[in-house]
Amino acid sequence: MGYFHGYKAYKFVREENNCLPINSFNKIFWIYNFDISLKALLYPEIMRIETTIRNYVIDSLVSGSDCSMSGVLSKSLNRYSQYTTGTPNYKKYLAKSLRIQNTFNTNISSNLQSSNMIQHYFYKNEPVPFWAICEFMTMGDLGSIIECMNDTEREKLYKNINTNLINTRYDGDFSVMTKHLYMLKSLRNTVAHNNIVFDCRFKDSDPKTSICSFLIQATGVMGIDFNSIMDYIVLIIYYEKNFKKPKKGYDQSGKKFQKITNYIKRTHNPTLNGSYTR
């Protein structure tokens, strides 16, 4: 446990002026153990969501069609074409599409010397397939790809995963999945860098009301606002369920979280009460 990023950082919730009633090192150590347990629980689940959605995206965009980077960009990642040329939305999604294209090229350049897969196509003067480039995409890149799909492709992706993901009331333009990926990306990066997660200080923006309402309606869990780590666990289990993961799998995730929260409540409830639960 480091001094500034551990010992001192565990003394407050989100902001330094929101101090916890800590008067001994043992209490800090309890919070530290809780945070470590959370990260051990969350990381493999987030990575599984990332990998699963990546595979669905690849399948949706290349199955039965041109799988080259240029083909995918022109036929599928062309949301900008749905808007009148020169309008704000046209410019917005055109810029995003161009950034994705630049990311593709950067990934090819960065991995050319180390990836036999990219060398296979590049040295034969053949276009590197979209699916090959996707292997090097980050979770944020994946969210951008989905965001730039045209409406038909995004709807197709939702249906390929599970029709239960479709909610025309709160997600009429099929954009919620992208927002969820961006939110999970912040959590994933925090866990990967071993930073503090229990109080959601990693959250870099407040989600729109529709994002929270979507998950409330889909799960029946009330009061979701993503100020609690429990809300992120609800989000993770929601996707695991819709990936048709065996019920035993996502039940185990919930039980593991319940076990570590019960440990904190049992050993020192006053210190963390309300800090990670609603």
pLDDT tens digits for range 55-84 = 999 999 988 778 888 999 999 999 999 999
Between 25 and 150, residue with greater pLDDT: 150
Q: Collect contacts of 13-19 with beta carbons under 8 A, ≥24 apart.
A: 13/199, 13/201, 13/275, 14/199, 14/200, 14/201
Using a pLDDT cut of 70, give the percent of the chain over it: 86
pLDDT tens digits for range 90-106 = 999 999 999 999 999 99
Between 234 and 26, residue with greater pLDDT: 234
Boundaries of every domain in the chain: 63-150, 162-269
Token readout for 76 is 């599928």
pLDDT tens digits for range 101-128 = 999 999 999 999 999 999 999 899 999 9
Token look-up 């999970």 returns 184
- Report pLDDT for 267: 52
Q: Collect contacts of 22-27 with beta carbons under 8 A, ≥24 apart.
A: 22/271, 27/268, 27/271
Query: Which of left, alpha, beta for 245 (phi over 0: left; psi -120 to 50: alpha)?
Result: beta
Between 271 and 135, residue with greater pLDDT: 135
Report the chain's terminal Cα–Cα distance, integer Å.
Answer: 27
- Report pLDDT for 113: 93
Q: What is the mean pLDDT of residues 144-150?
A: 96
Is the pLDDT score of 217 beyond 70? yes
- Report pLDDT for 55: 94
The mean predicted confidence, pLDDT, of the chain is: 86
Query: Which of left, alpha, beta for 264 (phi over 0: left; psi -120 to 50: alpha)?
Result: alpha
